[in-house]
Amino acid sequence: MRRTLWAALSICLKDLRAEARSRELLGMMLLFALLSVLIFSFALELNAVARREAVSGVWWVTIVFASVLGLNRTMALEREQGNIDALLLAPIPRAAILIGKFLSAYLYALLVGLILLPVMTVIYNLPLVSLWVVVMLLVGAWGICMTGSLLAAMTVQARGGESLLPVALLPVALPILISVVQATTGIFEGSPRGDWSSWLPVLMAINVVYTAVCLAVFRFVVEE
C-alpha cells in the first residue's frame, strides 16, 4: 500500500517536473479555459439573473474540457516517448501508474478551476469565491480525473483516440457533472446549505465507486 502510494507520488512528481520545464500542458489548458469562459459569455449574452444560474455550468464544462485536453496530451506523451514501457517494466504495482497519472491530472484540474474562479468573478461580476465552492471542486474533479485517466490510457491506444476520449468520458462523468453543477449552482445562488449539501454524500459515493472500479480494472488496460 505504502509502496504503491510512494511510486504513484514519484510518477506524479515526474509529470510535474516535466511540466515545470516544458510548460506546454498547463499553458494550453489555461489558455483554452480562458477562451472557453470568454466564448460562453458572448454566446449566452447573459443578463444578471441568467448569469447566476448558468455560471456553475460554464465553470464545470470548462474544467472538464480542459482536463480532456490535458489528459489526451499527457497520455500521448507517455506513449510517444516510450515512457509507458519503462513504467510497466518498473517493479511497482500497476495501480500506482493510474494513481500517479490521476494525481497529476487532478492537480491540473484543480489549478484550472481555482484560477478560473477569480477570473470569472471579474468577467461575470459575481462573488464566486467561497470555501464550499473549493470543496465542490475537490470532490467533483476527483471522479472526473479518475475515470478520465483510466479512459485516456485506453483511448490513446485507439484510432482517433484524441476525439474518442470526450465521447467515452463525458457520459461516464455525467452523473458527477450533473450532481456537482446542481450543488455549485446552489452555492453560487446563495441558497441555504440544506438545499445543496445533500449532493455531497452522493458525490462521495460516486467517487468511491468509480475509484474502486478504475483501480480494479486498470491492470487490464496496460497488459501488453
- Contacting positions for other proteins (CB under 8 A): 147, 150-151, 154-155, 157-161, 164, 167-168, 170-172, 174-175, 178, 198, 202, 206, 209-210, 213-214, 217, 220-221, 223-224
Nearer to other proteins (CB atom), residue 77 or residue 164: 164
Nearer to other proteins (CB atom), residue 38 or residue 213: 213
CA 143 to chain CA centroid, Å, is: 8
User: What is the sign of the dihedral through the CA atoms of 155, 162, 70 and 131?
Assistant: negative
Nearer to other proteins (CB atom), residue 116 or residue 169: 169
**Is-contact 136 46, C-beta < 8 A?**
no
**Is-contact 169 65, C-beta < 8 A?**
no
Nearer to other proteins (CB atom), residue 127 or residue 201: 201
CB of 170 to other proteins, least distance (A): 8
Query: How far, in Å, CA of 103 to CA of 146, rounded?
Result: 9
Nearer to other proteins (CB atom), residue 37 or residue 165: 165
Question: The cell 482517433 sits on which residue?
Answer: 160
CB of 160 to other proteins, least distance (A): 6
CB of 24 to other proteins, least distance (A): 26
Q: Within 10 A of 19 (CB to CB), how many other CB atoms are there?
A: 18
CB of 21 to other proteins, least distance (A): 32
CB of 200 to other proteins, least distance (A): 11
The set of residues, in sequence order, having a beta carbon less than 8 Å from that of 65 and lying 6+ positions away, is 32, 36, 166
